[in-house]
Amino acid sequence: MTTASHQIANTGAHLRPTGKALLARLACAGLLVATGSAQAVDWTLSGFGTVGYAVTDQDWRYQRHLDDDGTWWRDTRLGAQLDARLNPAWSATLQLTLSPSTRHDRQWAAEVAWAFAAWRPDNDWQLRAGKQRIPMFLNSENLDVGQTYALARLPVEVYALSPTNDVTGLSVTRAWQHGAGELSADVYGGRAQINVRRHSSDLGASYLATDSDIVGAVLTWRAPALTWRLGFHNASTQAANGQALPKSFPYVDLGGGMGYYRVSDELPGMVPVPTTRTIVNQVINLAVDAEVAPNWRVVGEFARVFQRRTSLGTDSAGAYVAVLHEMGSVTPYVLVARQQSMGGGRLIAKRLHEAADKAFDPSLALAQRAAAETGVQVYDQTSFGVGAAWAVGARSQLKAEWMHTRIGEGSYLVDSPKGQRVQGDSVQVWSLNYSFAF
């Protein structure tokens, strides 16, 4: 823990407003009223950042940015935060960040990351209004502040399963003290604007703007030797432009073992592509961080995503277990992670690829392949990593990690190059990060 950010010390108070949300405006109005009645405001300025380099042993891209040319894009980010305590009950936070854009593969984005109002009538209750960080995984609230955890990067097999990290809305937290520990319950609801990245080996990367209405409830226990978290989250998502989303792809049988899937109403066929305006993702997650012996910790997280109202999209599970050993200023660790698609999505993608291989027309093959790569999120990968974090000082860490990932039937985190389908392959990633907070 550092003084770098209010987000670290006060979990669940992370907000990233768009400036257009009504609730964010109401929060600002409330702050003006509270400021007017306050005799003095306690201001705190803090900052954080990570400068990170990573390189792989493959010429195709992994996790959007990584390949054998090396990159600073994946892990590097900077942030500054201003906290204002208006009186014992009212506070506000404003955070600015500079990080890789969520709308483009090779652009940086400077954003107003959080801007929220918090009302704490007593030590047991807190109400927040604005764009808030969802308290989903163990490090969801502080995932941008690499100085707060030893892992060089939080395992993508779990953290990529979150529908979003932030919502603009309301949340209520109730806390109960039990000896040296605290049990807290968070209930939240709001809307998130999300850019969903899709990659086709023929067409490259594209981004689909979506609006998601998200509600959830989370229980968290925090104690010196044990932290655990259990949560349920429901996200209802629509395309921001109002476009209908496909539910499935009807098969057009041409006879003689030939045929194709009608992935668009522009393709010939009698049966229209079934669509829905809204898809639903439901997430159940469980996390544990336990001190199992002096200076030994075991951290594990599990998430299951259920896809509703469509047979496409993502329906998967992810988990990881990490063992960390604190040796003075150095903390080495090992971890293993697994991400696996569930349900019928894998079979649909497989059949689309088979139809593309048999297609008699190049444009038809392209349509089948693009639907398999962008319309169905297939995950089948296992990772093993070894790393270490060196506490350079009280507020900074230097981290190094080697990660080996084995890819089975495929992975939505891989950008397959043109004319190639990455499956039954592996990738090694070497990372070197410097994280700081002040």
What pLDDT, on the 0 to 100 scale, is given for residue 20?
Answer: 46
- E strands present in 240-295: 245-246, 251-255, 258-261, 275-276, 279-293
What's the predicted TM-score (pTM) here?
0.89
What pLDDT, on the 0 to 100 scale, is given for residue 243?
Answer: 93
Q: Which DSSP symbol is given to 273? A: P
Domain boundaries, given as residue ranges, for the chain: 6-437
The hierarchical CATH code for the domain 6-437 is 2.40.160.10
Average pLDDT of the segment spanning 92-112: 93
pLDDT tens digits, one per residue of 241-251: 999 999 999 99
Least confident of 3-12, 111-120, 340-349: 3-12
- List, as one string, the DSSP characters of 346-385: HHHHHHHHHHHHH-SSHHHHHHHHHHHHHTB--EEEEEEE
With b for 16 or more beta-carbon neighbours within 10 A and e for fewer, the 143-181 pattern comes to bbbbbbbbbbbbbbbbbbbbbbbbbbbbbebebeeeeee
Cα separation, 269 vs 264, whole angstroms: 10
Cα dist from 383 to 6, 267, 285, whole Å: 33, 39, 20
Quote the percentage of the chain above a pLDDT of 90: 86
The yes-or-no verdict on residue 180 having pLDDT over 50 is yes
CB 183 within 8 Å of CB 220:
yes
pLDDT tens digits, one per residue of 387-433: 999 999 999 999 999 999 999 999 999 999 998 999 999 999 999 99
CB 42 within 8 Å of CB 49:
no
